[in-house]
Amino acid sequence: MRTSGPFTIYKMCTSWHYLGYVYLYSFICYVDGFYTSPSQDIVCGELLRAGQGNIESPLFPDPYPADLDCKWTITARPGYRISVTSEYFSLESQTNCLYDYITIADGEDGEFGRARYCGDQDVDFLSQHNVITVDFRTDHSASYPGFRLLYEAVAPQSKKSAGCNRTVQSEGVISSPDYPFTYPANVTCFYHVQAPVHQLIVLEFVEFQVETSPCDFDRLEIYNGINTDVENLLGIFCGSDLPVSLQSETSSLILKFVSDKTVEKKGFNATVHFIDDIENTSTTEVSSSTPPPIQTTKTPLRQSTTSGLLVSTRENQVSFIGECNVTVAAAISNISSPSYPNLYPLNTVCITRLASQTVSSFLIKFFNFNIEEGDNCTYDSLCIYARADSDHSEPVLLRCLCGPHLENPIFTWEGQGLDLVFRSDSSVSSEGYWAQVFISPVKKESTCPAECENGGTCTEILLVDGSIDWMCMCPELYTGTLCQTQVKVTCSNVLCENGGTCQEDENDAHCLCPSGFTGRYCEEMGEVTEGGTLYFTKIAGNMSLSPGSNVILECAVNDPTAHVMWLLHDRILTKADWSRGIEVHPGGVVVIPEVRDEHSGRYTCMAITSGDLLERSMWVTLKEPCSLFGDGHKWV
């Protein structure tokens, strides 16, 4: 449910049930005087693989339901650790986190410790084990926007870091420590770039990969001059977008690179050039070709005329914006009235435009608010308008705010944009406001709780009560919620055709087909080029496999003296194919430990004796698994 303003959920959780891996909640909401009910149950909790990805509280960024108990279990590769950080976090606050909170348990049973978070705390957690459980619990009252947590598998560090504090006095290349490998954790490096007298420095980035969202974790700070005073700061960089070229105002630059204890990336690589200071003038604009509003992902960095710094508004990077007439498209931004925290100017109209290319959830959380109060906010005001759907439509007024404080400091809206219009008259100036903006594209409802295994297909189904659910439709011989269990097959339920003989092994029963027939049940005609007395006693049938599966191809004939070989696309497989991931063993056995695209195609088993030749073909095809969560749930 999305509304035109903050709302409170008064009654929740009319029913719930547990499916072994996920909680499903049915509920009724009381919103602004109306009872509403969503069309689907809430999927709450998942089994995840790290990878990279994120988890969100139910209904995020709208207030979460009451009486929840959601569990996410995240598993990384053995030896890896898991980093969890908060992109956005706002729960009910209590000194001991007894009301609404998340608990992160380190280890399968929390044997390596537990951490609890609530309120507006920043989550910055690094596990010792490769398995963690995130448990989100809420009480019966006081719902808040919730959270979006980012998780990532952290590889064990094996190398020592190179030195990083140095002075650069000639043109060349400058890079983060250990580049092009990942930079080390917990380092602070200073680079002093010194050009000759009457020359300036141009810094051009060739590659940039630094932990992102926000720049409080790992970052590159760049300063004019020979010290790191805040008034000399040109910009703070993080993320994966390539920064624009920077030109110094003097003959010196200071680069300060900082990394925290978690999540190391490749770092940065930049070239240093010296140019003549012909005009001997200073500029704080890297480029004057991009005036407000800020709409591109490569906005120049500049020193602001306000007390803060205007930092690049790239996606997943924190911004501070306190100017008139700007466009904000970053995932997280801090916005304020002009001149904040000083008194805002008189007779001013400023428009802050929140924009997204797709339908998104917009959340505005005010941390400070003090605007001159008047009847119907007729003096000074901050009015919020919904962006019109077309150029010919008028914006829709949602709310006008004024006064010394806000009763509810959180505002949510779903659409493609909002306009925040600040107006002041000719008298009485106040402190103004500052707020955090969170823009999150609306995602489709989640489908299956995790990736279907063994070639299963994620399928939408209609329940008897009219609601929609999702389930994995399993291929033959597999069952379970995720098609993870292989069905035990015996010869009692296998009927071989065309004179085939059933044979059982540890997990399966299959048909041994006579010459001229193939298929799982000997139901298909096979190709026999020559031979009379020679026939197959064991031959693999057609296979449809998921990428990464293990497969064994076996072929045998009734004559033990026959030479048996496998061909792929009519080329004989030998031990030289081990380098391609195909293991050729004696006795007509081929093993492919991890099937890839290059391994698909027609395989032919050929048996040769002094008087006979027999061959039969089968096909290996790859079937893409149900893709539900994107790269965030694949091993990296």
Local confidence band at 345 (pLDDT 50, 70, 90 cut-offs): very high
Residue 137 predicted with pLDDT over 90: yes
Residue 16 predicted with pLDDT over 70: no
Pick the more confident residue, 289 or 87: 87
- Do 398 and 265 share a structural domain? no
Residue 377 lies in a domain: yes
Residue 203 predicted with pLDDT over 80: yes
Local confidence band at 296 (pLDDT 50, 70, 90 cut-offs): very low
- Do 338 and 262 share a structural domain? no
Min mean pLDDT across 37-51, 269-283, 569-583 is at 37-51
SS3 232: helix
Residue 109 lies in a domain: yes
Q: Give the model's pLDDT for residue 135.
A: 95
Q: Give the model's pLDDT for residue 181.
A: 77
Residue 331 lies in a domain: yes
Task: Convert the pLDDT of each residue in 265-282 to its tens digit.
Answer: 888 989 999 998 876 543
User: Which amino acid makes up residue 74?
Assistant: I
Task: Convert the pLDDT of each residue in 467-519 to its tens digit.
Answer: 556 778 888 778 888 888 877 778 877 788 877 888 877 667 778 777 667 78
CATH number of 87's domain: 2.60.120.290
Q: Evaluate whether 433 touches 338 at the Cβ level (below 8 Å).
A: no
- Do 177 and 64 share a structural domain? yes
- Do 362 and 253 share a structural domain? no
Local confidence band at 333 (pLDDT 50, 70, 90 cut-offs): confident
Q: Give the model's pLDDT for residue 461.
A: 67
Provide Rg for the chain, Cα atoms.
32
- Mean pLDDT, residues 397-402: 92
Within 8 A by CB and 6+ apart from 167, the residues are 191, 192, 193, 194
Local confidence band at 40 (pLDDT 50, 70, 90 cut-offs): very low
- Do 359 and 242 share a structural domain? no
Strand pairing category for 172-175 and 267-276: antiparallel
Residue 289 lies in a domain: no
pTM assigned to the model:
0.40
Residue 437 predicted with pLDDT over 70: yes
Local confidence band at 608 (pLDDT 50, 70, 90 cut-offs): confident
Report the domain count for the chain. Answer: 3
Question: Which of 417, 441, 465 is the C-terminal boundary of a domain?
Answer: 441
Percent of the chain at pLDDT > 90 equals 18
SS3 441: strand
Q: Give the model's pLDDT for residue 518.
A: 79
- Do 74 and 205 share a structural domain? yes
Local confidence band at 307 (pLDDT 50, 70, 90 cut-offs): very low
Question: Which of 276, 310, 342 is the C-terminal boundary of a domain?
Answer: 276
HEC string of 114-141 equals: EEEECCCCCCEEECCCCEEEEEEECCCC
Percent of the chain at pLDDT > 70 equals 77
Local confidence band at 389 (pLDDT 50, 70, 90 cut-offs): low
Residue 515 lies in a domain: no
- Do 272 and 341 share a structural domain? no
Strand pairing category for 509-512 and 571-572: unpaired
Q: Which domain holds residue 90?
A: 47-276
Closest CA to 89 of 134, 144, 147: 147
Question: Which of 399, 418, 441 is the C-terminal boundary of a domain?
Answer: 441
Residue 94 lies in a domain: yes
- Do 338 and 263 share a structural domain? no
- Do 222 and 357 share a structural domain? no
Within 8 A by CB and 6+ apart from 343, the residues are 429, 430, 431, 432
Residue 24 predicted with pLDDT over 60: no
CB neighbour burial string for 398-407, b if at least 16 within 10 angstroms, e if fewer? beebbbeebe
- Mean pLDDT, residues 338-343: 87
Residue 111 lies in a domain: yes
Residue 23 lies in a domain: no
CATH number of 559's domain: 2.60.40.10
- Do 333 and 262 share a structural domain? no
The whole-chain average pLDDT of the chain stands at 76
- Do 398 and 252 share a structural domain? no
Local confidence band at 112 (pLDDT 50, 70, 90 cut-offs): confident
Q: Give the model's pLDDT for residue 71.
A: 92
Q: Give the model's pLDDT for residue 455.
A: 84
- Do 345 and 271 share a structural domain? no
